[in-house]
Amino acid sequence: MPSGGKMKCSCGYVQQEGKIIEKRKKEKKIEVMDSSIDNKHLPEISADCSQCKNNKAYFWTIQTRSSDEPETKFFKCTKCKNTWREY
């Protein structure tokens, strides 16, 4: 890097002369599930809920990151409706 030059990353980090001078992160708003989707149309699988210890959950996937990365898996507990995701 030339003396006094800046390097910028698309994620918001800016580095000047070897020191990070900005640490902005882009915020992504992710819609977890369209409320018009009825749970009875989602597959039910075995998955452990961390809140109520139930072992059944609804399951769906959404492409939340770039297309060359795997989909994000979402789960919704059939008992307490707790929702979580796995990358």
- Residue 71 a catalytic site member: no
Residue 13 placed within a domain: no
pTM given for the model: 0.54
Q: How many domains does the chain have?
A: 1
The CATH number assigned to the domain holding 41 equals 2.20.25.10
Q: Is 56 exposed, middle or buried (0-12, 13-18, 19+ CB in 10 A)?
A: middle
Residue 86 placed within a domain: yes
For residue 70, the model assigns a pLDDT of 83
For residue 36, the model assigns a pLDDT of 47
For residue 65, the model assigns a pLDDT of 79
Residue 64 placed within a domain: yes
Range of the domain at 77: 37-87
Give me the average pLDDT of each 10-residue run along the chain (87 residues).
65 70 57 55 90 93 82 91 88
Residue 43 placed within a domain: yes
Residue 44 placed within a domain: yes
Asked whether the CA dihedral 65, 70, 76, 77 is positive or negative, the reply is: negative
Residue 68 placed within a domain: yes
Catalytic residue among 17, 22, 48, 69: 69
- Residue 69 a catalytic site member: yes
13: closest CA among 30, 26, 4?
26
